[in-house]
Amino acid sequence: MKRTVSVVLCLVFVCFFAFAGGGKEGSAEGEAQYPKGDISVLIAAAAGGGNDLLVRALLPSLERTLKVSVVPVNQPGGRGAIAFNEVASARPDGQKLYFNSKSALLMKFNGIEEAKMERLVPVAQAAEDVSIFVVRSDSPIKNIKDLINHIKTSKERVKAGNSGMGALWHLSQILFCQTIGSDNILSIAYNGSSPMLTALVSGEVEFVTCGPEAKSFIDAGKVRPLCVVYPGRYPSFPDIPTLKEETGLDYDYPVWRGFFTTAGTDPKILKILSDALKIAVESEEFKKFTAVGMIASFKDSKAFAEIVDKEQKSLEILMPGVMAQIKSAESSGGKK
Amino acid sequence: MGSFDLYLMGWQLIDPQVFLMIFLGTLLGIIVGALPGLTATMAVSIIVPLTYKMSPVVSILMLLGVYCGGNYGGSISACLINIPGTPSAIMTGLDGHPLARRGKAGLAIGMATLASVIGGLFSVFILSVFSPIIANIALKFKSLEIFGVALFGLSVIAYVSPGSTLKGIMAGFFGLLVATIGFDPTIGVSRFGFGSTNLLGGIDFVSAMIGLFGMSEMLANIEKTKKERDFGFLQEKVTKTWGALKYIRKLKAVLLRSSIVGVIIGAIPGAGGTIAAITAYGLQKKVSKYSHLMGQGTLEGIAAPEAANNACTGGAMTPLLSLGIPGDAVTAVLIGAFIIHGIVPGPMMYTTNPDMVSAIFIGMLLANIIILFIGMPGAKYISKLLKIPSQILNALIIALCIIGTFAIKNSLFDTCVMLTFGGIGYLLSKAKVPKAPIVLALILGPMMEENLRRWAALAEGKYWTEFVNAVLTNPVTLSMALATLAVLLAPIIMKKKHFSEDDIQFTSTASDIDPNDIIFAEKK
């Protein structure tokens, strides 16, 4: 009996301590000055990934400008939805920021209904990256024209890899197909870029669409990049031609990474944050940050909001069809 | 890349700080391993969140130190108090304790240390030679092969886990079920979400593991009565540990044989140090000239299981690094640590993070050398730690479990997941259901599902023709299919399992043996 009691007591204590952590924060004060204290940046990704490294590279400069601590909080849970929710439902005082890539816009279409962009307001864009088309290094496909020809003439659907259905690079692939006017591909989902590139190397798929994370595979000589989709040569990969150079075809697919905060935040606060971020992005220490192949590219809250808004609108038209297609392909067992 | 680059490039990552962390990790591992009730698996799982802020290299190498140290540390308490500090030391006490009782505690622990180090070093050698080769083959694996390997791994786990096969399979299926929570891997449909945003991303694997291995074991410890906790501590001075050195040459066959057993068993998914130790001891008993004396304080009875359980570490790392499949429960926890740091363990690591792989080889090498230099002179101090009241330890570890799970993603939900799994794990141990299959299924389940569905998508509806085609043309698919079938049918064909902890009885009442007949089996 004594044992049972002690076990139960212990459990009670454990639960008590576990739940005691979620205390309330200090009460509201006047909106006199900003920032009112430490700012937290919720990163919708695990520590050590591209998004995380990028935010951490910006922090020292931000802290110098804003004169408060800026605390990075990694919150990869629920595929970024938990961080999104937390910022979206915070008080609109600019003390909580949300950092994500264009994926933030796609969440809504990928089954996370509450991730509506209207609940956040763009603060500033910090970086940009690019879609790359890649084949195995011993593939007969030597350039992007070969690939387009192959897709158009192949009797069987050309097997392509994406790093997640309806995700960033899959969407780029879909736009690519629309641009070349042929959807004779069978796009297979992988759980992230690394397994996808490995599958490309194993020969399971013929080509993949991915981001700058292909760098290590390209450097190791395992895969061959065909082109990037970017208005000009992409600074991290100056040797890779653009789609437009090679074929004259082009589609607009900028992949931004930027900061958001709770909707309804005072425009003055947005301005302060945006200005501080501008200094951080344009600082020398951030320019050296090329570890993950992204490049620094600043846009202030207004310009960033315009981009987000424009993309949001085009995605509203594009995505429902894409998702319906993905789901019907799955339920029919992949038959065409 | 030059052929030796893989073995050399990691050195540049090993700076004094990294070395210090490996040292600390190993020391921590030995201490935790030595303390009864705290296992190596638990040590690694509760330390994972603490390494979260470190760089990936420091974090992984420190955890490897804990892993290697933990596997060894159990032998100290096994020799001194006849309670294995960690389950893999289960066989060490059989001969280690009688020897210690005869006043040769130093010799017993010295032997265990040397055997551990030799087994460990051997396994690092095997790991560094074979894992790049296997990884190179594995790079050609497509979805169906990966599915086959994962399915084989899962079926083996159920078979080899201690206790009944049926319970092992049940635990495996429970793990698979838990693994389906959250978004499905291909089209992002939410499963078992119950409208909770927290469940969208699935059950956090590290939190579940800390619950299963950390929290639940603490609950079981608390339940122990005072009498059970107060093990008769042997007031034996641990001296002259280096004395064991002179028996190494005579025991070299034993050490080599047991190391090979350890590496092979370590590489089999799900079979960890415990089974390696049991098998090596059993084998030794079969081949030894002095088998009738084993269990009464022979040196070979210490050397065999200790070499085997530490050789397991390199063995278990081999499938982890080359295939992305964990070889035992601890390496399953390590996968969680890799993922936290954004590294996907598997064959692509040799392309994407070759310096990391290299640093892992070097780190394990260093950890084993550190064991030698901590274990030989330090065993007498570590043995004093056995007197720490378990109430203090339990409270400390429960606190670590809670803080740690919160720290991974700053999510209180994950702490609740940990507590839930702590409760589940506690109930499972009461029902004698093994917990290792659950964690391995948590990792292998999504892997199997993803690859099977990918293969199905690639087959474009022609499943049977594609499958028959794959089996006929691809040796890997065929052999994996046959091996899986064999493992699943084995319990039906063979009535009795090979690996059962119930078979081992602690018959170490050595007091009735004539002390003059000091049995160093190999010495005679």
Residue predicted with more confidence, A169 or B155:
A169
pLDDT of residue A291: 58
Residue predicted with more confidence, B107 or A336:
B107
Give me B513's structure tokens: 């043996």
Nearest to B187 among A52, A195, A330 (CB): A330
Q: Do A78 and B56 touch (CB under 8 A)?
A: no
Q: Parallel, antiparallel, or unpaired: how do β-strands A131-136 and A207-210 relate?
A: antiparallel
CA–CA separation, A56 and B450 (whole Å) = 32
**Residue A275, min C-alpha distance to chain B (Å):** 29
Q: Do A111 and B341 touch (CB under 8 A)?
A: no
Asked if pLDDT for residue B47 goes beyond 80, the answer is yes
Q: Is residue B435 part of a domain?
A: yes
Closest residue of chain A to B397, computed from CA coordinates: A14
Whether the Cβ atoms of residue B213 and residue B42 lie closer than 8 Å to each other: yes
Whether the CB of A309 is below 8 Å from some CB of chain B: the reply is: no
pLDDT of residue B521: 41
Measure the CA dihedral B510/B512/B516/B518, to 10°.
-20
Class of domain A131-229: alpha beta
* B:37-76 residues touching chain A, CB 8 A cutoff: 52-53, 56
Asked if pLDDT for residue A10 goes beyond 50, the answer is yes
Task: Count Cβ atoms within 10 A of the Cβ of residue B55 and give its class: 0-12 exposed, 13-18 middle, 19 or more buried.
Answer: middle
Task: Count Cβ atoms within 10 A of the Cβ of residue A79 and give its class: 0-12 exposed, 13-18 middle, 19 or more buried.
Answer: buried
Whether the CB of A3 is below 8 Å from some CB of chain B: the reply is: yes
Residue predicted with more confidence, A142 or B49:
A142
* B:295-324 residues touching chain A, CB 8 A cutoff: none
Helix A301-331 vs helix A267-281: crossing angle, to nearest 10: 90
Q: Do A164 and B143 touch (CB under 8 A)?
A: no
Tell me if the pTM is above 0.80.
no
Range among A98-102, A166-170, B9-13 rated most confident: A98-102
Contacts of B460 in chain A (CB under 8 A): 157, 186, 333-336
Select from A198, A213, A326 the residue whose CB has the most chain B CBs within 10 Å, as the one to mutate to test that interface.
A198
Q: Is residue B510 part of a domain?
A: no
CA–CA separation, B418 and A167 (whole Å) = 30
Section B20-33 average pLDDT: 91
Angle of CA points A90, A95, A98, to nearest 5°: 70
Return the closest-CA partner of residue B36 out of B79, B1, B95: B79
In which band, very low, low, confident or very high, does the pLDDT at B434 lie, cut at 50, 70 and 90? Answer: confident
Q: Do B450 and A48 touch (CB under 8 A)?
A: no
> Mapped to the 3 state alphabet, what secondary structure does B34-70 carry?
HCCCCCHHHHHHHHCHHHCCCCHHHHHHHHHHHHHHH
In which band, very low, low, confident or very high, does the pLDDT at A259 lie, cut at 50, 70 and 90? Answer: very high
B168, HSE (Cβ side, Cα atoms, 13 Å): 23
Return the closest-CA partner of residue B273 out of B501, B45, B60, B425: B501
pLDDT of residue A49: 67
Give me B129's structure tokens: 């030679």
pLDDT of residue A135: 95
**How many H helices and E strands in chain A?**
12, 11
Q: Do A334 and B188 touch (CB under 8 A)?
A: no
pLDDT of residue B169: 85
pLDDT of residue A205: 94
Asked if pLDDT for residue A274 goes beyond 90, the answer is yes
Q: Do A203 and B140 touch (CB under 8 A)?
A: yes
Section B348-356 average pLDDT: 83
Whether the CB of A328 is below 8 Å from some CB of chain B: the reply is: no
Q: Do B458 and A334 touch (CB under 8 A)?
A: yes
In which band, very low, low, confident or very high, does the pLDDT at A139 lie, cut at 50, 70 and 90? Answer: very high
**Residue B445, min C-alpha distance to chain A (Å):** 14
Select from B6, B190, B217, B351 the residue whose CB has the most chain A CBs within 10 Å, as the one to mutate to test that interface.
B351
Give me B197's structure tokens: 């945003």
**Residue A284, min C-alpha distance to chain B (Å):** 23
pLDDT of residue A32: 57
Select from B348, B393, B419, B424 the residue whose CB has the most chain A CBs within 10 Å, as the one to mutate to test that interface.
B348
Of the listed ranges A23-27, A103-107, A218-222, the one predicted with least confidence:
A23-27
Nearest to A76 among B56, B399, B409 (CB): B409
pLDDT of residue A124: 94
pLDDT tens-place string over residues B476-494: 888 888 888 888 787 677 6
Section A5-18 average pLDDT: 53
Give me A92's structure tokens: 């609109």
Select from A3, A8, A14 the residue whose CB has the most chain B CBs within 10 Å, as the one to mutate to test that interface.
A14
ipTM here: 0.76
Please report, for chain A, the start and end positions of each structural domain, with discontinuous segments joined by +. 39-127+256-320, 131-229
Give me B57's structure tokens: 């290299």
Cis peptide, bond prior to residue A35, ω within 30 of zero: yes
pLDDT of residue B152: 84
The range of the structural domain enclosing residue B172 comes to 5-499
Q: Do B143 and A199 touch (CB under 8 A)?
A: yes
pLDDT tens-place string over residues B263-276: 988 887 767 787 88
Q: Do A188 and B200 touch (CB under 8 A)?
A: no
Q: What does each C-alpha distance from B203 to B3, B175, B221, B313, B437 come to in angstroms? A: 41, 11, 26, 27, 16
The DSSP 8-state label assigned to residue B100 in this structure reads I
N residues, chain A: 336
Angle of CA points B180, A106, A204, to nearest 5°: 60
Question: Across-strand partners of A209?
Answer: A133
Beta-strand (E) ranges in B390-431? none
Whether the Cβ atoms of residue B326 and residue B319 lie closer than 8 Å to each other: yes
The DSSP 8-state label assigned to residue A242 in this structure reads B
Tally of structural domains, chain B: 1
Asked if pLDDT for residue B391 goes beyond 60, the answer is yes
- Same fold yes or no, A39-127+256-320 and A131-229: yes
* B:144-183 residues touching chain A, CB 8 A cutoff: 183
Q: Do B348 and A76 touch (CB under 8 A)?
A: no
The DSSP result for B158-201, as a single string, is HHHSSS-HHHHHHHHHHHHHHHTSEE-TTT--EES-TT-HHHHT
Contacts of A52 in chain B (CB under 8 A): 342
In which band, very low, low, confident or very high, does the pLDDT at B48 lie, cut at 50, 70 and 90? Answer: confident
Beta-strand (E) ranges in chain A? 39-43, 70-74, 96-101, 120-129, 131-136, 158-162, 185-189, 207-210, 223-229, 255-262, 295-299
User: Which 3 state secondary structure label does DSSP give A39?
Assistant: strand
CA–CA separation, B450 and B408 (whole Å) = 25
The DSSP result for B214-238, as a single string, is IIHHHHHHHHS-HHHHS--------
Nearest to A82 among B187, B198, B459 (CB): B198
Asked if pLDDT for residue B39 goes beyond 90, the answer is no
A39-127+256-320 folds as D-Maltodextrin-Binding Protein; domain 2 (3.40.190)
In which band, very low, low, confident or very high, does the pLDDT at A103 lie, cut at 50, 70 and 90? Answer: confident
pLDDT of residue B504: 43
Q: Do B411 and A186 touch (CB under 8 A)?
A: no
In which band, very low, low, confident or very high, does the pLDDT at A331 lie, cut at 50, 70 and 90? Answer: low
Section B21-41 average pLDDT: 87
Return the closest-CA partner of residue B155 out of B271, B39, B3: B271
Asked if pLDDT for residue B367 goes beyond 90, the answer is yes
User: Which 3 state secondary structure label does DSSP give A70?
Assistant: strand
CA–CA separation, B245 and B248 (whole Å) = 6
CB pairs under 8 A between A and B: 164
Section A273-280 average pLDDT: 92
pLDDT of residue B243: 76
Return the closest-CA partner of residue A104 out of A92, A112, A96: A112
pLDDT of residue A24: 37
Q: Parallel, antiparallel, or unpaired: how do β-strands A70-74 and A39-43 relate?
A: parallel
Whether the CB of B456 is below 8 Å from some CB of chain A: the reply is: yes
**Residue A132, min C-alpha distance to chain B (Å):** 17
Contacts of B402 in chain A (CB under 8 A): 14, 17-18
Whether the CB of A157 is below 8 Å from some CB of chain B: the reply is: yes
Q: Do A202 and B344 touch (CB under 8 A)?
A: no
Section B148-176 average pLDDT: 80
Q: If you average pLDDT over every residue of chain B, what do you get?
A: 81
pLDDT of residue A20: 43
CA–CA separation, A196 and B148 (whole Å) = 18
Return the closest-CA partner of residue B288 out of B14, B31, B497, B521: B521
**Residue B348, min C-alpha distance to chain A (Å):** 6
Asked if pLDDT for residue A31 goes beyond 70, the answer is no
Q: What does each C-alpha distance from B78 to B33, B81, B292 come to in angstroms? A: 10, 6, 21
Other beta carbons within 10 Å of B355: 15
CA–CA separation, A142 and B369 (whole Å) = 50
pLDDT tens-place string over residues B457-474: 888 878 888 888 888 888
CA–CA separation, B69 and B25 (whole Å) = 8
Task: Count Cβ atoms within 10 A of the Cβ of residue B24 and give its class: 0-12 exposed, 13-18 middle, 19 or more buried.
Answer: middle
In which band, very low, low, confident or very high, does the pLDDT at B502 lie, cut at 50, 70 and 90? Answer: very low
Q: Do B188 and A166 touch (CB under 8 A)?
A: yes
pLDDT tens-place string over residues B175-228: 999 999 988 877 777 788 887 878 877 888 888 888 888 888 888 888 876 655
Section B315-344 average pLDDT: 83
Q: Is residue B515 part of a domain?
A: no
Of the listed ranges A265-279, B6-20, B160-174, B231-245, the one predicted with least confidence:
B231-245
Contacts of A332 in chain B (CB under 8 A): 461
Q: If you average pLDDT over every residue of chain A, what do you get?
A: 83
N residues, chain B: 524
Whether the CB of B484 is below 8 Å from some CB of chain A: the reply is: no
Give me A107's structure tokens: 């969440």
pLDDT of residue A295: 82
Whether the Cβ atoms of residue B174 and residue B181 lie closer than 8 Å to each other: no
Contacts of B406 in chain A (CB under 8 A): 21
